[in-house]
Structure 1
Amino acid sequence: MYAYTRDLAAAQDLAQEAFCRAYARWGRVSGYHDPAAWVTRVAWNLATSRWRRLQTAASFLRRQRPEHVEEPSPDRVALATALATLPAEQRRAVILYHLADLPIRQIARQEGVAENTIKSRLHRGRAALAAKLSEEGEGNA
């Protein structure tokens, strides 16, 4: 299977799946003249099906890709740069609240802290972002 797939992990998965199918049908497969040939044929068929699925997926992705992807706007780059300067807790709170649109209660539950802690992180994070973004704006003027 490795020679056919050129992927060791995939070859191992295919062989394991073929043996599992043989085990599930052992009452019938054991009566064959060469049960190993049946397992080999099943593995080969699985590999062929896998290859076809991969080809179909690759073709679909090629059709879905846009011709031209626009670069991020300068504002988006500035925001990402400013977010990277925040402490991790503040950055998570700001991103989850403002970009992922999660309510404070859910963020607090997810982070395992009190709601007031999230409010504090948001306040500090927004203040730091405002300062950082105004510095960058003044530096470009």
Structure 2
Amino acid sequence: MAGEADFDAFYRGSRRRMFGYVYVLTGDVAEAQDVVQEAFVRAWQRWETVGGYPDPESWVRVVAARIAVSRWRRRRSRARAYARHGAPEPVEGPSPDTVALVDALRRLPAAQRTALALHYVLGLSVADIATETGAPIGTVKARLARGRAALAALLGEDDKEVEVNHG
């Protein structure tokens, strides 16, 4: 395809210049790589138009500069918010019970795990789960019952009703 070959040639011929330009703008290699990549992706998405411009590299350069400025503004706004409000409070790690539960859930078949998550975590009814998964109501009930029984066995619980916490 001619458009693809034209873009490839354009990219190969201009990527290093574009990287050098954006690196000077940002002063950060990783940031420059990200910005240049995003600018070229946007050029590729609009290549039918951009490829017809007298200087497609100029278009990519303007887009890259705008992306770099936009990302800089977002970081600056985030820094101001941190200065005003402080960094977010650290989130405590999961409790040992939660880790054990997640481990046990990973051992269940996907259909049982999905039914349990939809029912206990999201609070969906059996009918809603049946609609969402495309399974008959009886199948959903069986998955819930078998999933609870399997969890009880995996967690070493005597009680067949295992409370599923998500905290």
TM-score computed with the length of structure 2 as normaliser: 0.56
1:14 is the counterpart of 2:39: yes
Give the C-alpha shift of residue 119 in structure 1. Answer: 0.8
Work out the CA distance in 2 between the residues paired with 1:17 and 1:112: 38
Q: Secondary structure at the match of 1:76?
A: helix
Q: Kindly tell me: are residues 85 and 59 of structure 1, through their superposed partners in 2, closer, same or farther at Cα, counting changes over 3 Å? A: farther
Residue 142 of structure 2, aligned match among 111, 120, 125: 120
Partner in structure 1 of residue 8 of structure 2: none
Mapped pair 1:134 → 2:156: yes
* Cα deviations by residue, 1:93-137 (Å, 9 ceiling, x for unpaired): 11111112122222222212112111110000001111222269x
Amino acid at match of 2:88: R
Bigger helix share: 1
Q: Which runs of structure 2 are paired with 1:57-72 in the superposition (5 Å)?
A: 57=78, 60=81, 63-66=86-89, 68-72=90-94
What aligned pairs does 1:1-141 form with structure 2 within 5 A after superposition? 1-3=18-20, 4=22, 6=29, 7-14=32-39, 40-41=61-62, 43-57=64-78, 60=81, 63-66=86-89, 68-134=90-156
Deviations 1:5-29 (A, max 9, x none): 54445324336768x7xx7xxxxxx
d(CA) in 2 for partners of 1:70 and 1:35?
50
Cα 1:105–1:135, aligned 2, differ >3 Å: closer, same or farther? closer
Q: Which residue type is aligned with residue 125 of structure 2?
A: P
With the length of structure 1 as denominator, give the TM-score of the two structures: 0.64
Measure, in 2, the Cα distance between the counterparts of 1:124 and 1:39.
57
What are structure 1's unaligned runs of at least 5 residues? 24-29, 137-141
Unpaired runs of 5+ in structure 2? 1-17, 24-28, 159-167
Q: How many residues are treated as equivalent by the alignment?
A: 127
SS of structure 2 residue aligned to 1:71:
coil
Deviation digits for residues 22-54 of structure 1 (CA, Å, limit 9, x no counterpart): x7xxxxxx9xxx997687456424422222213
What letter matches 2:148 in structure 1?
R
Bigger Cα displacement from structure 2, 101-110 vs 87-96: 101-110
Q: RMSD between aligned alpha carbons? A: 3.7
Which region of structure 1 is more displaced relative to structure 2, 115-124 or 54-63? 54-63
